[in-house]
Structure 1
Amino acid sequence: MAIVLFDGECHFCDASVQFIIKRDPKGYFQFASLQSEVGRELLERYQVPKADSIVLIENGRYFLQSTAALKIARRLQGFWRFAYVFIAVPTGVRNFAYDKLAKNRYKWFGKKELCELPSQDIRQRFLS
């Protein structure tokens, strides 16, 4: 099991969570927003420095930015797992592109006011 912390106010982040859920039928990933009490507690427990987009907590460690995204992709069904080959690209190069998206996500994709309620089986994967 792994936990994905995401920006609960970001349309792109919400779409990313929905993307993960559809490609994770075994339910390996659980989710919590960075803004939630659980999210804040996990950030503190794992001593995550500055997190404003995506954080993966897996095997007692946290991963940020492109590393988190690639480690998530590695566990998804379909060809998405092959994206993990990009882990060989230097972190600075990967995170440069990731940072461009993260810094502009509200401008490009908008900010959420309300969250959709997922189905009961999906709701169980969200930590509260």
Structure 2
Amino acid sequence: MTKGKILLFDGVCNFCDGTVQFVLKHDKKAVFKFASLQSDAGQQILSHHSLPLSDFDSFVYVDGDKVYLKSTAALHVLKELGGLFRLTFLFIVIPRPIRDYVYSLLAKNRYKWFGKKESCTLPSPEERERFL
């Protein structure tokens, strides 16, 4: 199983693709690797961590043996990006059910609000090594 910090995302979601592009741009140390939830690598990682293989309503952050979902995943990723993004981790004090309710509202409506693609965006040659 691949080690390190891995972000699993919905590969056909425009909002999710924008999130990946945001992380790529701000991950100055290039610590994150990426895989779509639908890909073979994504499916293997989900299976390894006993996560559902067909529920693509959650952004998943795998950091070694730790798995973070939904709002907790997003906050941990922003913290890892460093700089002012670390301040967003203060939202972790909001109870998870409240944070995840807001997250789930966005996830449930992401295709309607941001659109959907036929397939995943192909990474540039420079970014390709960061995708599983």
TM-score by length of 2: 0.90
Cα distance in structure 1, aligned partners of 2:52 and 2:92: 21
Q: Once the two structures are superposed, what CA deviation does each residue of 1:40-65 show, in whole Å capped at 9, x if it has no partner?
A: 00000011247413000013121100
SS of the counterpart of 2:130? coil
Amino acid aligned to 2:44? E
Of stretches 65-74 and 116-125 in structure 1, the one that deviates more from structure 2 is: 116-125
Contact 2:70 2:103 in 1 (8 A): yes
Which stretches in structure 2 are left out of the alignment for 5+ residues?
Answer: none
**CA positional deviation for 1:114:** 3.8
The answer to whether 1:107 aligns with 2:100 is: no
Amino acid aligned to 1:86? F
Cα distance in structure 1, aligned partners of 2:102 and 2:76: 16
SS of the counterpart of 1:15? helix
Q: Which residue does the alignment assign to 1:12?
A: 15
Q: Once the two structures are superposed, what CA deviation does each residue of 1:94-120 show, in whole Å capped at 9, x if it has no partner?
A: 001001000000000000114433222
The answer to whether 1:61 aligns with 2:66 is: yes
The two structures, once aligned, show a CA RMSD in angstroms of 1.4
SS of the counterpart of 1:48? coil
Which stretches in structure 1 are left out of the alignment for 5+ residues?
Answer: none
Once the two structures are aligned, what percentage of the paired residues are identical? 49
Q: Across the two proteins, how many residue pairs are aligned to each other? A: 127
Q: Once the two structures are superposed, what CA deviation does each residue of 1:15-73 show, in whole Å capped at 9, x if it has no partner?
A: 00000010102111100000000000000001124741300001312110000000000
Q: Which residue does the alignment assign to 1:91?
A: 96
The answer to whether 1:34 aligns with 2:50 is: no
**CA positional deviation for 1:81:** 1.6
Q: Which residue does the alignment assign to 2:28?
A: 25
Q: Which residue does the alignment assign to 1:80?
A: 85
Contact 1:3 1:58 in 2 (8 A): yes
